[in-house]
Chain A
Amino acid sequence: METLVALRGLTVDFDVGHRVIRALHGVDITVGKGEAVGLVGESGSGKSVTWLAALGLLGPRARVRGSVTLAGQELLGAPARALEAVRGRRIAMIFQDPASALNPVHRIGRQIGEALGLHRGLDGGAARAEARRLLDRVGIADAARRLTDYPHQLSGGMNQRVMIAMALAGEPDMLVADEPTTALDATIQAQILDLLRELRRDGGMSMVLISHDLGVVAENSDRICVMYAGRIVEEAPTAELFAAPRHPYTSGLLAALPDLDGPRRRLVAIPGTVPEPAHLPPGCAFAPRCPVVLPVCATAVPPLESAGPGHRAACVRVRRAVAA
């Protein structure tokens, strides 16, 4: 598969005044053309930071290093103009809390129209007609009337649909959906995921679906990256990851999933929490919570190593298994 976006050795440091905190420790992710990649991990593991960093959206206090390429073009350190041409046009992003992700003082139509003007040169009536079509496309009934509504007049699920319509306005090559359903209740969550799946199937768009819920990601990704404390700890095709997880953290996430038919719930099975970036243990960051920890785990960070075709994991047990 042709690579669309590649993150290589992505490192993010936050300058928090008195010291510098490293949130990402060299993250590698590639997304192929038309591919759907899931990025999963508990809250605080660095999923959002990864993609905000890739798009240059972290602000001046973040220092981003490594490499981010889009179809071969380097984005890190690219001039503001070049990044603006990528955002929304090549790579669009939607966020967790749709109610606060839309500007409260502007009408829906204006917010979508802005993207249409920016990326497709549409304005006036043409922009309005296209905005209407987009709202129709994302399943908003009575689209014409909704254009003149403000975000507070819509429900959370509707606002997320508006966000998706806005993301589609630039006809992007890739959509990054950062916990798009976390703030929504279960039925709406399923509807939004259906919509994303449908859009991807119709448009051939690549997608990165970020979630703390492995269940959400499972049904919507070809491949899954598992993230923990600012590192990718395992990466595999979705079926393979479920069938043969190699990292104890992934196993923990899987064990926390309810039965296939049961209701989804939050990941609770792994005791403890993700360590703060400022207080990482030496060695493997998961070691303090790991049920199968070895003495060697506290001494060095295990590298991400091959554990089969298209499968990589960062655990000392992987190498032992390969060597054995």
Chain B
Amino acid sequence: MLRYLSTRLVRALLTICFVVTFAFVILRLSGDPALLILSPDAPPEAIEAFRKSWGLDRPVWEQYVRYFGAIAEGNLGRSMRDGRPALDLVLERVPATLALTIPALILKLVIGIPAGIYAALHRNKLADRMTMLFSVAGFTVPSFVLGLVLVLIFSVNLGWLPSGGQDSWIHGILPVITLGTAGAAVLARFTRSAMLEVLGQPYIRTASAKGLAWHRVVVDHALPNAAIPTVTIVGFMVGSLVAGAVVVESVFSWPGVGRLLVVAVANRDLAVVQTILLFVAATMVCANLTVDMLYGWIDPRLRTRRVAGAG
């Protein structure tokens, strides 16, 4: 187990290094923060001074080494826009994002999983077809389209809910529904196919042949097995709690991490982008580790590998 964890950890570190480098290359090669933050009409001296103070006048490789060194020391740098520590800027925004993504995750779970199970148990019946129809619709419609449609209906036409901002929990309703719908759709499909796979297994027939009532066959024998693949996708959803709302935050003007990221990328504000990416990578890594541990807990085949003698 320890060896397993340490290889996972090394892999996670490599991933993070890769992400850090990738962000540097993309952001440095695609625009000049001085021009973007100060505007191109700023006096040349001002631009020169800005470059000097942020080290942008040095060769790119030197910038990279310094930047990487700083991160390795735990210094995430400051925003070039207002000079505040990038970490503070990001941390400030995390609660707002979680205020959307956590309720959305709960929505996905409480709708997606039961819907998938129900559909599988009523395979090819009307209920199954309707569920799958909604599910396909749910994840083929892009979230910004869904968001705008919801705004059109509930804010513009009916006037029931606000279309943007973060003044109260009411403002969160539409973004949470927008976020939750696609995820619930994915989860429903996934759970359905996991259940169908499991329901076709010989041990399900054994459980019925034993005399168990069908609901107990489903609850005691099918669900624990179907949980194994479903945990993967749920883990992925947990991993995207911090970064999964970029589009929706933009549509609903929600001041979360996603919107900060959009602005920071537009300004090539490297330190801020970097910090957000590190956060995202860290949540992903934690979620993956948790999933791996859950696997071991649910599926005994991953815990113990021992075959007793024949006979």
Interface residues of A (CB under 8 A from B): 52, 55, 57, 80, 84-89, 92-93, 95, 97, 100-107, 114-115, 118-119, 139, 149-150, 152-155, 157-158, 163, 166, 170, 187-188, 191
Contacts and interface: CB of A to CB of B under 8 A. Distances in A.
B210 A88 contact: yes
A76 to B, nearest CB: 16
Interface residues of B, number: 30
B300 A118 contact: no
Given A95-B205, A105-B225, A152-B300, A166 B210 contact: yes
A104 B197 CA distance: 14
A105 B298 contact: yes
Given A95-B206, A152-B300, A157-B311, A115 B221 contact: no
A51 B297 CA distance: 37
B282 interface: no
B208 interface: yes
B304 A163 contact: no
B203 A104 contact: yes
Interface of B: 201-203, 205-214, 220-221, 224-225, 228, 298-301, 304-311
Nearest to A110: B220
B210 A102 contact: no
Contacts of A103: 203, 206-207, 221, 225
Listed from nearest, the 7 A-B pairs whose CB atoms lie closest are: A88-B211, A87-B211, A103-B203, A150-B300, A88-B210, A100-B202, A93-B209
Contact of A115 (B201, B208, B211, B307): B211
A323 to B, nearest CB: 45
B207 A154 contact: no
B299 A105 contact: yes
25 contacts: A57-B205, A57-B209, A85-B211, A87-B209, A87-B210, A88-B210, A89-B211, A95-B202, A97-B202, A100-B202, A101-B203, A101-B206, A102-B203, A103-B206, A104-B225, A104-B301, A105-B224, A105-B300, A114-B210, A152-B304, A152-B305, A153-B304, A157-B311, A158-B310, A166-B206
Contacts of A188: 310-311
B307 A92 contact: no
Contacts of B307: 152-155
B300 A80 contact: no
Nearest to B200: A59
Nearest to A152: B301
B225 A87 contact: no
B217 to A, nearest CB: 10
A158 B311 contact: yes
Contacts of A157: 310-311
B288 to A, nearest CB: 22
A85 B211 CA distance: 6
B211 A118 contact: yes
A87 B203 CA distance: 15
B202 A118 contact: no
A114 B206 contact: no
Contacts of A57: 205, 208-209
Most chain B CB within a 10 A radius of its CB, from A95, A105, A154: A105
Contacts of B220: 106, 114
Give the one of B206, B298, B304, B306 with max A CB within 10 A.
Answer: B206
Contacts of B203: 100-104
A163 B206 contact: yes
Contact of B308 (A101, A158, A163): A158
B300 to A, nearest CB: 4
Given A103-B207, A115-B211, A191-B311, 19 more contacts: A57-B209, A86-B211, A88-B211, A101-B206, A103-B206, A103-B221, A105-B225, A105-B228, A105-B298, A106-B220, A118-B212, A152-B304, A153-B306, A153-B308, A154-B308, A166-B210, A170-B210, A187-B310, A188-B311
Nearest to A105: B224
Contacts of A150: 300-301, 304
A189 to B, nearest CB: 12
A170 B209 contact: no
A100 B201 contact: yes
A8 B306 CA distance: 47
A253 B259 CA distance: 75
B129 to A, nearest CB: 13
Contacts of B205: 52, 57, 95, 101
Contacts of A158: 308, 310-311
A307 to B, nearest CB: 34
A215 B220 CA distance: 39
A269 B309 CA distance: 35
Nearest to B310: A155
Contacts of B311: 139, 155, 157-158, 188, 191
A39 to B, nearest CB: 17
Contacts of A106: 220-221, 224
B202 A88 contact: no
B201 to A, nearest CB: 6
A153 B301 CA distance: 8
A33 to B, nearest CB: 21
A263 B161 CA distance: 79
A163 B210 CA distance: 10
Contact of A88 (B209, B214, B310): B209
A13 B209 CA distance: 21
- Identify the interface centre among A80, A150, A163: most chain B CB within 10 Å of its CB: A150
Nearest to B209: A93
A170 B211 contact: yes
A3 B224 CA distance: 41
Given A100-B202, A100-B203, A104-B203, A55 B298 contact: no
Given A101-B202, A104-B300, A150-B300, A80 B309 contact: no
A94 to B, nearest CB: 8
